[in-house]
Amino acid sequence: MKSLLWSAGLCSLATAVLAANEATSPPVYPTPEGKGQGPWAEAYQNAKALVSQMTLDEKVNITRGFKGDNICAGNTGSVPRLGWPGMCVHDAGNGVRAAELVNSYPSANHVGASWDKNLTHQRGYYMGKEFKAKGINVMLGPNAGPLGRSPLAGRNWEGFSVDPYLSGQLNAETIIGCQEGGTIANLKHFIANEQELYRRPYFGVEAASSNVDDKTLHEYYLWPFMDGIKAGVGSVMCSYNRINNTYGCENSKLMNGILKGELGFDGFVMLDWNAQHNLNSANAGLDMLMPMGGAWGQNLTDSVKNGTVKESRVTDMATRIIASWYLAGQDGDKFPTPGFGMRNFSVPHEAIDARVPESKPIIMEGAIAGHVLVKNTNNTLPFKGKQKILSVYGYDASIPQTKNIDTLFQLGYESYPELALAALGTEQHWDQAARGGTIFTGGRAAANSPGYIIDPLSAIQHRAAIDDTWINWDLKSSNPDVNGATNACLVFINAMATEGWDREGLHDDESDALVLNVARKCPNTIIVIHAAGIRLVDQWIENPNITAVVIAHLPGQDSGTALVKLLYGEAAFSGKLPYTIAKNESDYSVYKPCGLAHLGDTNPQCDYKEGVYLDYRAFDAKNITPRYEFGYGLSYTTFTYDSISVSTHGPMQPCSHIGDEVWEKIATVEVEVTNNGKVSGAEVAQLYLGIPNSPPKQLRGFEKLRLEPGQTGKATFELTKRDLSIWDVVSQKWTIQSGAHKIYVGASSRDIRLHGNLQFS
């Protein structure tokens, strides 16, 4: 009998969710065996041949972690008798963490703001090559969750966007690129892992339960995982939290029923580090424990002998792991010794340089592309020629005081040393700003490792030396003096976020006071915000002396260089917001993470009663005007949209589909975009659909066009059956409904330039 929660249908904005104490996740057994079809076929053939030679103990040995002679986050067991070397697995989706001679790539939220599939693919490829060069078999990323249900969630910056379509497309490109580079990608965190507060059991309190109905799960939280699995991801990480009151790594409905059953996932499921699990997790679909043996090891061997777990399940676990190893081309002499480039910094060791020159332009281009220009009064930017005097203010303008081999470096806390002192699971209340220097990444697992950091002030100084510009700076005062002859005042502030704790809010008073104090004295004030998530600006955005505002996100090691290129017009802004910036915190349909119901509560419940109505979907449905809408971003030029054409493939009738059918193309939309300005630029053309009984608009396509002045380009959007479908909880299929499906194409979710229609009858 199916749980009511998983069966309940949602056909309108009114979401029917059962009371939290009734939320259940039904058992689904047995685990479907990997089929090894399509691109997995050869890998499975090789894996089955190797696993067939293993003893039970050898198969069990590779399903768990062991302490290694390296600093990898985890190491699997090996099978020396058969020459299988085991695997090193390590953080994370933004580049190699806590390692030397690697690159600090732009973080995922920065990449999301680029809306650039090609650049995302190349970033994934060069990251994959670096992981491989260090002997890391599995990159613990990218992130399809959290998506960003709460804008305060501490790990939102690790993902590409709050929108599941944009997230899915960029996750897929990252996975393909990473695995082409020779490293297995690990798509995480499965699923509805949307906050740090009560993310796992601590001090007698259970992890929060994300109570999600079947329709919301499929149409929102599962969506980017589907794209990742279609892209051929080798591994998926189950999450710390509970989903409908069952822990993610014990949840057979999710791992057996949906991931390996409905989606046909052929790779392996990995435990998040020390996540809640038990021996029956093997039967529930878990394939690998990390970082050690946990509830398995000898217990798993004994359970096979007493019949609790079938040996065929252990064989499937081992086959899935080794098939992923073959899929990424790690067999034979194609891959270094696992972990050989990951050594203790503090003792003599051979330093392995994983960087290649070809990655440099990709990192720089990526750093440029994720900057979003949201205000530019009277074309303040770019600067017009050489500047006589510039004044720089704010704690975020300069380099952190240290970048060494210590914990601050390992956790990405160079600009916020206080974060390193706190123990995970303890209650903390952090200043939202990292006042120890510019931020280029967020904190903990997904932080990355810069060989250098070009901070904004240094880059401005280098340009000043060329142009003979006089530079004033005050990075300490909250109310600095201003030279009355200055051409412009640049104010640098930030908003930090980290794994382990959610943010306290979306702005801080001290930073806002700095902005207002400078703007009061300087009629040409430019604000630059490095942000690990949404940062509100309404405390000062309408001030007439604030002439330009840049959301600079997390650009990585080339932060300052990229910014100066943009300020001086050597590069053009092309980024668009991958989320909505509201006027007020209360405008978000979900603002704060879930807490305890009362004093003494040990069973926190999070009812996802908002369904799929998050971010711009909720703003549109409730007719709330944002400050800057999803998909918004200015350029140094202007673009016009013309000549929409819609063609269909096959009969336009309502239908239901499952499996590979969902990827069949059903319609093609084409539009012409023209650069009618005086400089070259790139425009992100965005396609939204108005699906019956759904949010007013949902993103279903985007294309980035680079155009010279006067040039016209064509944006082509291929729509699949899934793109036009809702999830029918009764038939358990994706379903295209009868009626009009409206097409909107434009420059943002609210700047719609062209309209079309698809009619199903």
Annotated catalytic sites, by residue? 272
Amino acid at 701: G
Angle between helices 164-180 and 117-133 (to 10 degrees): 40
Distance CA 358, CA 125 (A): 11
- Cα gap 167→188, rounded to integer Å: 12
Name the packing angle between helices 223-230 and 164-180 (round to 10°).
30
Taking a C-beta distance cutoff of 8 angstroms, is the pair 547, 491 a contact?
A: no
Q: List, in order, residues 6 or more apart from 467 with CB less than 8 Å away.
A: 386, 387
Evaluated on CA atoms 213, 228, 93, 352, the torsion sign reads positive
Q: Which long-range contacts (CB under 8 A, 24 or more apart) does 515-519 make?
A: 515/491, 515/539, 515/540, 515/546, 516/540, 516/543, 517/478, 517/479, 517/480, 518/393, 518/480, 518/482, 518/489, 518/491, 519/489, 519/543, 519/545, 519/546
How far is it, in rounded angstroms, from Cα 527 to Cα 678?
25
HSE-CB at 75 with a 13 A cutoff on CA atoms is 18
The token duo for 135 is 């002997």
**What whole-number distance in Å separates Cα of residue 287 and Cα of residue 234?**
12
Supply 662's token pair. Answer: 């969902």
What values do phi and psi take at 482, rounded to 5? -130, 130
Q: Is 662 helix (H, G, I), strand (E, B) or coil?
A: helix
DSSP secondary structure string, 302-341?
HHHHTTSS-HHHHHHHHHHHHHHHHHTT-STTSSPPTTTT
Altogether, the residues listed in the chain come to a count of 761
Query: Which residues, including other chains, have CB under 8 Å from residue 405's CB and lie 6 or more apart?
Result: 345, 346
In this structure, what token pair is assigned to residue 759? 């009619």
* R_g (Cα) of the chain, nearest Å: 25
From the list 684, 145, 127, 708, the residue with the least C-alpha distance to 369 is: 684
Task: Give the integer Cα–Cα distance in Å for 509 and 52.
Answer: 63
CB of 248 closer than 8 Å to CB of 242: yes
Tell which residue, 239, 268, 263, has the closest CA to residue 251: 239
Q: Where would I find the beta strands (DSSP E) of 349-499?
A: 372-376, 389-393, 470-474, 488-495
* Contact in structure between 13 and 613 (CB atoms under 8 Å): yes
Rounded distance, CA 206 to CA 142, Å?
27
Phi-psi region of 742 (alpha: psi -120 to 50; beta: other; left: phi over 0): beta
The structure tokens listed for 382 are 């770019």
Are 29 and 268 in contact, with CB atoms under 8 Å apart? no
636 alpha carbon, distance to own chain's centre:
28
- List 671's β-bridge partners, or say none: 715
Which residue is listed with tokens 């491989």? 132
For residue 501, the 8-state DSSP code is B
The answer to whether 723 and 717 have CB atoms below 8 angstroms apart is no
Beta-bridge mates of residue 728:
733
For residue 746, give the amino acid letter. G
Distance CA 441, CA 300 (A): 39
